[in-house]
Every structure is written in C-alpha cells, then in structure tokens.
Amino acid sequence: MNTAETIRQAVAEVEALRRESRDLPDIGAAVTQVKSLQARRFRGTYADLLASGPYSAAAQFFLEELYSERDYADRDAQFARIAGAVERLFPRDVADTAAGLARLHALTESLDHALARRCAAPHGDAVAAYVQAWQAVGRRDDRQRQLETVVAIGAEMSRLTRLPGLRLMLRMMRGPASAAGMGSLQRFLESGFDTFAAVAKSRGGAELFLDTIREREQRLMDLLFDGDAVSCETELRRTLGQAR
C-alpha cells in the first residue's frame, strides 16, 4: 500500500468512528471523557519533563500531537484531501512519517472508542470505569504497537533533523504546502523537526527522551494489564494528582 492509500484508509477508519460518536451521544461523551483522562494522565506521568529542562518542548509536542484530547478533524480532512500530494511534494522520508502518523491516529482512535464503549455510563467513578474498561477490552498487542509507533515516529523525527538541508527544504515548502491545503501537516512536521533538533543538541538526548517515554508507558501498560484493579486505580489517581 502506498503512502496516499495508507493515509486515506486511516482517515476513513477515523471518520467511521467519529460517525459512531455523533450517532450515539453516550459513546461520544465517553470518548471525550477517555481522551480527557488520558491527556491528564500524560501530564501527570511527565510532569517533571513538562515543567522545565531540555525535554520540556519535546514532552509538550508529544502531549499536543500524539496524546492530546484535541479534535483532529481538520487535520484529518486535510490528510484525506491531499494524500496524493504528500508523495509528490514532500521527500520520501517525510511522507513516510506522515503515513505513520495517520496509522497511529487510526489505531489510537480505535482503542479509545473501544474503551468508551465499555465505560459509556453517564455516572460513576471515571478512574475505576477506565481501569475496568482497559482490562475488559484487552488488545495488548495493539497497545504495544501503539507505543512502539509513538516511539518510532519520535525516532524518525530525530533522524530527520540530521539530514543535510531538510530544515531549509521544509521552510521552502511553506508556500506550496499552504496552497495545496497542507498547513496542518506542514506545522506538525516543522514543529516536530525543531523540537527534536533542540533535543538532539545534547549527545544522546533524543534517545534518552524516547527511552523515558517507552519505559514509563510500558510500566503503566503492564500494570493495567497485569495488576489488580485496586493497584491500577491507586497508581492512576496518584498520576492524575500530579497533572497541572
């Protein structure tokens, strides 16, 4: 499957899930609750990195672009409309990163909606419902793939910063990208490039940051799949208490 087909398929999968949320208000509300809880959890898990220091911008980029509760409908619409142009206008490495982002987005939405279907009740303890839904849904392989894809996109962003002339090329792409309706994709790529270029200034900085993401997310994932409900809820409440 080429880049354009990958992007179009991923966007179509996400739009089908959005239709479900619109058609079933309880599911839509539960999806919003799940995303809000997960964004707060990320802020708590990485409170130390977000607060200050060399990884603050990178952690903020991950929060806003990969773990956010934002509605990405506009960006998805752009992706679907200009999927073919991505291959024509951007270097292959950059286009592959865009395709990876689309696949990650579709997988994340699928997992979030699966959780939402399990905790769509309008009342009750949100944390307890989330833990119960996570353990009931399962899909451990998909969760693992989600984590590895997040880390891979970060690693690719870091690698791209070392390609001679790519930053200048991205800057030169602003006009054509805007004219082609790819403003959101352009902003994502430039923001990711600049963020990881700053992290990579310190030797091994990007690798250390991504290792931290993998380690902390893996620990939480293992706890939610293998731990008892009380331990999982206690850890989540502690983490949420650290969120700003």
In angstroms, the first-to-last Cα distance of the chain is: 42
Between 144 and 123, the more confident residue is 144
Residue 147 has pLDDT above 90, yes or no: yes
How would you label 135-146 residue by residue, b for 16+ Cβ within 10 Å and e otherwise? bebebeeebebb
Residue boundaries of the structural domains of the chain: 3-242
Region 165-176: what's the mean pLDDT? 65
Please list, residue by residue across 41-66, b when 16 or more beta carbons sit within 10 angstroms of its beta carbon and e when fewer do. Answer: bbbbbbeebbeeeebbbbbbbbbebb
Please state the pTM of the whole predicted model. 0.83
Q: How far apart are CA 132 and CA 56, in angstroms?
A: 32
- Distance from C-alpha of 103 to C-alpha of 155, rounded to nearest angstrom: 16
Across 58-67, 156-165, 182-191, 204-213, least confident range: 182-191
